[in-house]
Amino acid sequence: MVGGCLSRLSCFFAYGVGLLLVVCIQDAEASTGKRVVHKRVGDTEEFSSNLPTEGVTAATWKYGSTVVADHDRGVSKKELFQSRLEFNPTNFSLTLRDLTVGDSGDFSFLSEANDRQRPTVTITLQVHEPITEHPVLTYSSYQALNGSCVVSLKCSSATHSNVTWSWAVGNHTYSGSELQHTIRPEDGGTTFTCTASNFVSEKSASKAVTCSNKYTDKGEFRSVLILSVAGACLMAILVLTCVVVRICCCKKRHEGSDSNDLTVYADISDVAVESRTPSTLKPCSLYETIENCTGSDAPITPAPQTVYDRIQLSRLRKASVSPYQEVS
């Protein structure tokens, strides 16, 4: 009995301690005031510590590690922000005008109340360039074998200040600057909306895409595909046949030229005409003047002096008026 009571009492005590720790942690986080502020270029931001102002004996604002304002001396003479900074000595707030992207950073407030150090308040400032132009939407598509269309889309923007991309297609949303989506002819016109956004602005662009499939009948589409493949195969066979025939003709022509590569000079040699005595044999040549090759001293009838004269001998005609020799 006593043990059970002690057990329940210990559980209750542990629960109370845990709850107290959670509350203390939440209070500590609230007192430190860590937060992030998003602003656009050209805006004005007033930094406040959200701490009580009673009994404050010291108050200092820092940008990073540099002191920019102080309870006793006001705004620092370093003019880090080129006279765009103001300090309120009553509520210890800090105001920065005409914000630029370069002003982004951590602003810290350090203070003392009744000579006791208070928690440091840190405010992170992020300055963004607003998106002023609509994004550029481009797309391409191809038709799948099942008759549907695969659409590839891409969005781009000239602004590079933490841009987030999103897509809206009907009731569906997607993230990223690129999207690939499948549509069907029965869907009609499908609208794709691309949105470029950051913390201070957003711009959108839309495009309606239709899947136009002229072969809505799968049987017709299959027939056209088969005919196309058959035509391509036939064309390849014809080309191959022409190439083979061409190679064979060239080979035969080459062999014929090798076998007939003989000239008249290969068969012409000196010959000797028999005479009554071997010592009187004279060699005769086709190109030599035709003489008495017999070796005898008997007179012979004058004959043509060259082979060419012999060929022309029986073909003498009247002189031709043409500058070219007439051959018959």
Residue 234 is predicted with a pLDDT of 83
In 3D space, the residue among 164, 159, 162, 200 whose CA is nearest the CA of residue 42 turns out to be 200
DSSP lists the bridge partners of residue 183 as 149
Could you please state the CATH topology (level 3) that the domain comprising 30-128 is classified under: Immunoglobulin-like (2.60.40)
Proportion of the chain in helix, strand, coil states, percent, rounded to 5: 30, 30, 40
Domain with CATH 2.60.40.10 in the chain: 30-128, 136-210
- Centre a 10 Å sphere on the Cβ of residue 148 and count the other Cβ atoms it contains: 16
Residue 135 is predicted with a pLDDT of 92
Q: Give yes or no for residue 318 having a pLDDT over 60.
A: no
DSSP lists the bridge partners of residue 109 as 61, 121
Higher per-residue confidence, 75 vs 15? 75
- Centre a 10 Å sphere on the Cβ of residue 165 and count the other Cβ atoms it contains: 19
Q: Give yes or no for residue 328 having a pLDDT over 50.
A: no
pLDDT-based confidence at 280, cuts 50/70/90? very low
Residue 219 dihedral angles phi and psi, to the nearest 5°: -65, -40
Q: Give yes or no for residue 290 having a pLDDT over 50.
A: no
Sign of CA dihedral 178, 183, 187, 189: positive
Q: Give yes or no for residue 18 having a pLDDT over 70.
A: no
In 3D space, the residue among 166, 56, 43 whose CA is nearest the CA of residue 96 turns out to be 43
- Tell me the whole-structure pTM to 2 decimals: 0.51
pLDDT in tens, 231-248: 887 888 988 888 888 888
State the average pLDDT over residues 258-275. 46
Sign of CA dihedral 66, 68, 73, 79: positive
Q: Which helix (H) or strand (E) holds 197?
A: strand 189-197
SS3 of residue 169 by DSSP = strand
**Calpha distance 270→283 (Å, rounded):** 6
CATH number attached to the domain at 136-210? 2.60.40.10
Give the tokens for residue 55: 């009994």
pLDDT in tens, 116-154: 999 999 999 999 999 888 999 999 988 888 889 999 999
Residue 31 dihedral angles phi and psi, to the nearest 5°: -70, -35
pLDDT-based confidence at 109, cuts 50/70/90? very high
